[in-house]
Structures are given as C-alpha cells and as structure tokens.
Structure 1
Amino acid sequence: METFDELISSPEPVLVDFHAEWCAPCQTMVKVLKKIKDLQGEAMHVIKVDIDKNPSVASHFFIQTIPTLILFKNGKQVWRQSGVIDPVNLNKIINMFK
C-alpha cells in the first residue's frame, strides 16, 4: 500500500479532496469530482481525505475549511482552493498543470 506522500508524488496531477461526511458542500463536490474523473481518466488521480478520520493529514496541510481541494504534481502543491468549484473551471485548472 502506498503512503500519502508516495501518492502525491506522481508526475500526473493528483487532486486531494479534504472533506467530512457531515459537510453539505462536500457532498456537492462528490458529483463534481466524478465528472472530473470522467473527463480526465487516467491522466490524473483523485484522493479523498476525511478530516475526521485523518486529522493528522488535515493538520499537516492546515485545513481549516472544507471542502478544500489541493492539486499536487511531483509532490509539490501547485493549486489550492476551499469551497465548492464547478467541474468546468476545475477541469481548466487541472489542465494547466498537465
């Protein structure tokens, strides 16, 4: 099993979704992320991190608002946003870092 650091070190973009089960805006992002995965296919990875089950990871990345999306490439954070974003704009952002 790969570690979190190994997963985000991919040469392809890796989108990390910090969320919680009780968060209504996070539930909205489920459909957005599915659409992104359909558009991007194997060209990128999506990792979902439940902040209640993984508080140390959330703390490490200073997650204070959810949902928070962080895009990594080669282990480096290249983009970050808190709140809901539509699939069209998110797809454009991901394409900038391919």
Structure 2
Amino acid sequence: MSKFGELIDLRIPVLLDFYTEWNEASVAMNPVLKDVAAALGDKAKVIRIDVEKNQDLADALRVKGLPTLMIYKQGEMKWRQSGEQDANTLIGLLQEYV
C-alpha cells in the first residue's frame, strides 16, 4: 500500500484504471487510455492496475465494477466512476486538475 501512496501523491493528476484482462469493458478502455495519455503528456499520469494482481488495494478502495476509474491529485481522490468513459471526457476531467 505504501507504493500506492507514492503513486497518488503527485502534483499532477493521476488517472487510475482498475481492470482485468478478461473484462470486455476493461479491454475496450485500452485505446481510450492511450489517447488520454498521449493528449496530456507529462501534465497527467495514467496508471492501469490489474485487480487480480492487486486484490487488497481493490478491496480497500471498494472497487466492485470494472473498469473503475479514479483521479487523484496530491493524495486526494478528486473523481471516481465505474464503467467505460470516452477519451474527451477523461481529458476534460484531468485538465480541471492540471
């Protein structure tokens, strides 16, 4: 969990994507997240977290639906949503916290 604290305690916004390889909606988010990362460059960070490999973290954050997306900035959760999102929506949300 200490590594998680380091991941989210950045001055730039961090978009977390909780996913699994077998979940269709999670897989569908792959190109969207690449577009978001490319559009924002070093102004934001996109991190994918495999729920099956990080079950304790997923449980601690009460991740139920997949994908679950969260935006953190300086250790504080700013936004959370389960389900697919489009790139423009995510870019707009992240830009609010840049």
Which interval holds the TM-score relative to the shorter structure?
over 0.9
- Equivalence map 1:55-66=2 (5 Å): 55-66=55-66
Distance 1:62 1:55 in 2: 10
Q: In the TM superposition, what is the alpha-carbon distance from 1:27 to its structure 2 partner?
A: 0.7
Give structure 2 stretches of 5+ with no counterpart. none
Distance 2:90 2:7 in 1: 20
User: Which runs of structure 1 show a deviation greater than 4 angstroms over 4 or more consecutive aligned residues?
Assistant: none
Q: Which TM-score applies when normalising by structure 1?
A: 0.96
CA RMSD between the two structures: 1.0
Aligned-pair identity (%): 35
Structure 2 equivalent of residue 87 of structure 1:
87
> For 1:49-84, what per-residue CA distance to the aligned partner results, in whole angstroms no more than 9, with x for missing partners?
111111001011100000000000000000001000
Distance 2:92 2:5 in 1: 25
Number of aligned residue pairs: give it: 97
**Paired AA for residue 40 in structure 2:** Q
Distance 2:47 2:33 in 1: 10
What SS does the aligned partner of 1:90 have? helix
Q: In the TM superposition, what is the alpha-carbon distance from 1:89 to its structure 2 partner?
A: 1.0
Distance 2:86 2:61 in 1: 23
Give structure 1 stretches of 5+ with no counterpart. none
Distance 1:80 1:11 in 2: 18
Distance 1:61 1:23 in 2: 19
**Given the alignment of the two structures, is residue 17 of structure 1 paired with residue 17 of structure 2, yes or no?**
yes
What SS does the aligned partner of 2:32 have? helix
